[in-house]
């Protein structure tokens, strides 16, 4: 659960996907969850190479893809590929409602 005062980003989002059910308690009453900046993703890099400059057969990609497949099922690899395109390693992208639904990322979001 990401609490109303909390957020997850990068590796934190990776860990968030490990939950069997994943809840987002919105920081404010909004309909577009990306406005709260509570669940974020981005690509990765190593030294001066971006993730997409490594062949997809590279162990780093295989480990990430395997992890997300275990956490998110048949949507896991697609979720991983989405993170690579979402923002550069030094950037940030806040997950939208549509993206969350597409990848089964957030079980429920609510404001209370």
Beta carbons of 1 and 52 less than 8 angstroms apart: no
Residue 47 lies in a domain: yes
Beta carbons of 39 and 33 less than 8 angstroms apart: yes
Residue 3 lies in a domain: no
110: β partners: 25
Residue 2 lies in a domain: no
Q: What is the pLDDT of residues 2-56, one digit of tens each?
A: 999 999 999 999 999 999 999 999 999 999 999 999 999 999 999 999 999 999 9
SS3 at position 102: helix
Domain count along the chain = 1
Residue 17 lies in a domain: yes
pTM for the full predicted model: 0.95
């Amino acid at each position: 659960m990401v609490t109303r005062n909390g957020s997850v980003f990068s590796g934190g989002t990776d860990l968030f996907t490990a939950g069997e059910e994943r809840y987002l308690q919105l920081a404010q009453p909004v309909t577009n969850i990306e406005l709260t900046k509570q669940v974020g993703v981005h690509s990765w890099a190593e030294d001066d190479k971006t993730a997409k400059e490594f062949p997809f057969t590279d162990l780093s990609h295989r480990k990430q893809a395997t992890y997300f497949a275990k956490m998110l099922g048949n949507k896991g690899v697609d979720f991983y590929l989405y993170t690579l395109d979402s923002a550069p390693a030094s950037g940030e992208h806040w997950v939208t409602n549509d993206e969350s639904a597409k990848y089964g990322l957030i079980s429920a979001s609510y404001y209370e």
